[in-house]
Amino acid sequence: MTFLLLGILVIALGAQIFLRFFCVNLRNTNLLRIYEYIFYFSIAAVFSLLAYYSYQQYVAWQSIEPSKFLLPPYQSISYFFKYLGARLFAPYLISLSAAILFLFTAKKLNKKYEERFFEPEELWFGALAIFLVGHPGWLFYFTSLILIYFLIHIFSFLISHFSSFRISLYYLWLPLAIFVILINKWLVELEVWKLLKI
């Protein structure tokens, strides 16, 4: 799963860099839809892989003596679906909900304030990153994003001798998501992670 998540983020990051530097007028083209397609593709890819893992789990349980009694005809299939829902699907359903909430909230705020906060494609970067880091990774991701943005803002404010200007998160969304996925194996050892995990 990690390779799929990293692969999608690297492709999105490559598209971001390529389109930003080689397409002069990105805002007025249909190229922005690439990010939307990457987001929808990632949803389909992640849930397809989870469906495959579910099938593998069923086959594994069926072939082992104690666990086969948890499947039909010995038990109702609902136990197996509850197990899969809690173990496999719930983290990505929660992060998908958070991503969609972010996407619509950010779109609404951006439109209300005349695109002062985000470039149009940044909304898709944020939603993609929040979804792919899963649950509870998206909480660590979002907290880290806010903290890093705050530190960059303070540093820039001090360097520019207290003059204020807008700092964009444009190049931080995807690399930070890649970083959170890479350090995931250390994050799962944290007590906070264990409390937030379903």
pLDDT in tens, the chain (198 residues): 889 999 999 999 988 888 877 765 656 566 778 889 999 999 999 999 999 999 998 888 888 878 777 677 777 788 888 888 888 999 999 999 999 999 999 999 988 888 778 888 889 999 999 999 998 889 999 999 999 989 988 888 777 765 566 778 888 999 999 999 998 878 777 776 666 665
CB neighbour list of residue 77: distance below 8 Å, 6 or more residues apart? 71
Q: Rounded to the nearest 5 degrees, what angle is found at the Cα of 132, between the Cα atoms of 92 and 179?
A: 135
Amino acid type, 60:
A
Structure tokens at 147: 């903290």
Helix (H, G, I), strand (E, B) or coil at 95: helix
Task: Report d(CA 27, CA 30) in Å as an integer.
Answer: 8
Spatial separation of the C-alpha atoms in residues 147 and 143, rounded to whole Å? 6
**Could you tell me which of 161, 132, 135, 191 has the C-alpha nearest to residue 13?**
132
User: Domain range spanning residue 122?
Assistant: 2-196
Structure-token pair, residue 96? 């998908």
The number of folded domains in the chain is 1
> Alpha helices, DSSP H only, in the chain?
2-22, 33-63, 77-84, 90-112, 120-132, 137-159, 173-182, 184-187, 191-196
Specify the 3-state DSSP secondary structure of 117.
coil
